[in-house]
Amino acid sequence: METLTAFSILFAVILFCFFIAAIFVYSKISQNLSESSASEKISDNTDYWKAVKGIVTESKLDYKDSKRLFKKSRRVYRAHFSYQYYAYDKQYTHSSLLLTWTPSKEIALHYVNRYPVNSEVVVRFHPEHPETSVMEIVTSN
């Protein structure tokens, strides 16, 4: 009988831990969804964003060591840019990343070399929020 009671208590504790973990995961998912929907309200359609010339002020290669489950970690890369542009007679500076990490250093370097410091780029900014911008990246050749 004592074994059954100990087992019941252990089962209840494990069940309680799963319940707490589920609440935590749910709160994180809802927080991410609300953050993404807020940014979508600002950036839902860049077609009507204003296009201006910008200047690349920083162009570099970022890297990190990626941890993989049951496998050896590997280094992954991405391009990182900073650029300046004018909107409504005010200067803005923005940083931009190629969001996808790639195991190919050559692919990331391709974009770093395509947009060197002091090169002109097309920048699109939100007409009502000029501090919100994107640097147009040409992905072909």
Binning pLDDT at 50, 70 and 90, where does residue 35 land? very low
Q: Across the chain, what does the average pLDDT equal? A: 78
Nearest to 112 by CA among 53, 54, 52, 62: 62
CB 34 within 8 A of CB 43: no
Q: Report the Cα 73 to chain-centroid distance in Å.
A: 21
- Residues in a beta bridge with 97: 80
**What is the Cα–Cα distance from 89 to 79, expressed in whole angstroms?**
29
Task: Summarize the confidence of residues 60-81 as an average pLDDT.
Answer: 86
Q: Phi, psi (5° rounding) for residue 22? A: -65, -40
